[in-house]
Chain A
């Protein structure tokens, strides 16, 4: 059974600090990993994706993947109040195939002004 685990929070971070979000997954055959941001009442919005071990940076966001430890993380630098949302870690088993995403329960992030 494919499982994705996240700390549900809330995670409270001061404005301007680094927010660190973590995720572990159980299916060692997982190929692709995604971070979605979801505001209350809205649909998920893609923030980052990663499929190779190491770090991937995009603006204030850095995704980190360690397949040996089955661990994915998202760092948000210079956190802004607008970053307050639920962050969903999602895992896809297959590479290029049409396969559904398995989501973690999400981490509720609060950026304190």
Chain B
């Protein structure tokens, strides 16, 4: 089973709202990732968690706040977003220590900020 589950699938929010995206995997992976993908662009890395600790933050604005409550869960808390933050948000997970470290992606959350 290589399933990464993301909820919700779609989210519409206003610029003053607070919402959270959720990602879950049960493959025993110890690395989890958030990527942002705008239309007709490739995914761009936002955050990496390694053993439940934030290891990479790609200079993401503070209105995006990641959280890794345990090794299976990854959240992305959203606050005061801008319309340009509308995008597909992808979660991925992988093993640590293997040469290839394949990242498996969830189906994504399509976010619209009004």
Contacts and interface: CB of A to CB of B under 8 A. Distances in A.
Interface of A: 31-32, 34, 36, 42-46, 49, 51, 88, 92, 95-106
Contacts of B97: 96
B100 A49 contact: yes
Interface stretch (B14-22, B43-51, B76-84): B43-51
Given A43-B107, A105-B42, A100 B96 contact: no
Contact of A51 (B35, B44, B99, B105): B99
Interface residues of B, number: 31
B42 A43 contact: no
Contacts, number: 69
B64 interface: no
Given A43-B107, A46-B102, A98 B42 contact: no
B56 interface: yes
A43 B106 contact: yes
B43 A49 contact: no
A44 B48 contact: no
Nearest to A95: B99
